[in-house]
């Protein structure tokens, strides 16, 4: 098989692996908390937020700014964890395959 043929076959295999990994990542979740567990954020490893849970005791109207800050902190932590997992999984699919400008 020619070099181009091997390269095309390898690229097609890598694309299939990446599609499978992306589907798996969409189903995989991570959870982060802030405020001692008052705010919990569940993020999917495809970079989306799946759920936000707030302990009702944290909902004092005078504390709105603090609750907003806790939500932001937990959401960013969850998304960072999800991104790390996604990058690691996608890196496995592209290991050993180097094309300029691919990734």
Instruction: Please report whether residue 99 resides in a domain.
Output: no
Residue-level pLDDT at 97: 63
Q: Are 87 and 71 a contacting pair, CB within 8 Å?
A: no
Q: CATH no. for residue 75? A: 3.30.1310.10
Domain range for 64 is: 3-94
Q: pLDDT tens digits, residue range 50-63?
A: 888 888 887 888 88
Instruction: Please state the rounded mean pLDDT for residues 5-24.
Output: 84
Residue 19 belongs to what H/E stretch? helix 3-27
How many structural domains does the chain have? 1
At 4, give phi and psi (nearest 5°).
Answer: -65, -40
The pTM (predicted TM-score) of the whole model is 0.58
Residue-level pLDDT at 91: 81
Quick check: 26 pLDDT over 70? yes
* Rounded-to-integer distance, Cα 18 and Cα 24, Å: 10
């Amino acid at each position: 098989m020619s070099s181009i043929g091997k390269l095309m076959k390898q690229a097609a295999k890598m694309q299939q692996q990446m599609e499978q990994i992306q589907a798996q990542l969409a189903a995989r979740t991570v959870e982060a908390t802030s405020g001692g567990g008052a705010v919990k954020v569940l993020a999917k490893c495809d970079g989306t937020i799946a759920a936000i849970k707030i302990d009702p005791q944290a909902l004092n109207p005078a504390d709105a700014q603090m609750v907003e800050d806790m939500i932001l902190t937990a959401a960013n932590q969850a998304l960072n964890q999800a991104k790390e997992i996604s990058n690691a999984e996608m890196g496995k699919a592209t290991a050993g395959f180097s094309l300029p400008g691919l990734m």
